[in-house]
């Protein structure tokens, strides 16, 4: 894994597999135990109006984190993690190395297949899948 901290404060980490990147996207939150997990619907680009991730809610009904799948040219396919557990938002991008910096149709199709894999799945199941790396049965 390589790591770069952007001028925006976002930490960009690169991984060789879906499983490694997804697990890291969850691990950067620490030993978080949300009271509730909700689906997050994409607002832009290829993920618009589709399930792209999850939001974690605490017992006070406050959003404490968001993890979502994203795609863009500089980072390729990646998980964006936004951590709101402290006063300052912490952002991490867990990127798939083979898709980084490549504006290809192949990346778009792979991203679409990742979104199809989490469509019609409950939010807590997606969270467990990404956190553990084990696909739901």
- The verdict on residue 35 lying in a domain is yes
Structural domain total, the chain:
1
> Which whole number is the average pLDDT over 105-123?
95
User: Could you give the C-alpha distances from 56 to 10, 67, 75, 117, 136, in angstroms and in order?
Assistant: 20, 8, 24, 20, 19
Q: Quote the domain boundaries for residue 32.
A: 2-132
- The verdict on residue 56 lying in a domain is yes
Helical spans, DSSP H, in the chain: 18-27, 105-118, 123-132
pLDDT in tens, 7-46: 578 899 999 999 999 999 999 999 999 999 999 999 999 9
- The verdict on residue 67 lying in a domain is yes
pLDDT in tens, 49-80: 999 999 999 999 999 999 999 999 889 999 99
- The verdict on residue 137 lying in a domain is no
Token couple for 118 = 């989490």
pTM of the model: 0.90
């Amino acid at each position: 894994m390589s790591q770069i901290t952007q001028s925006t404060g976002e930490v960009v980490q690169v991984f060789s597999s879906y499983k490694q990147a997804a697990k890291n996207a969850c691990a950067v939150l620490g030993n978080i135990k949300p009271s509730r997990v909700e689906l997050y619907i994409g607002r832009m680009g290829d993920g618009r109006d589709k399930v792209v991730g999850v939001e974690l809610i605490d017992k006070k009904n406050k959003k404490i984190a968001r993890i979502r799948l994203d795609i863009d040219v500089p980072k390729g396919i990646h998980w964006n993690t936004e951590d709101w557990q402290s006063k300052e938002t912490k952002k991490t991008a867990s990127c798939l190395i083979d898709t980084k910096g490549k504006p290809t149709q192949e990346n778009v199709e792979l991203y679409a297949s990742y979104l199809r894999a989490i469509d019609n799945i409950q939010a807590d199941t997606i969270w467990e899948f990404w956190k553990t790396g084990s696909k739901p049965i």
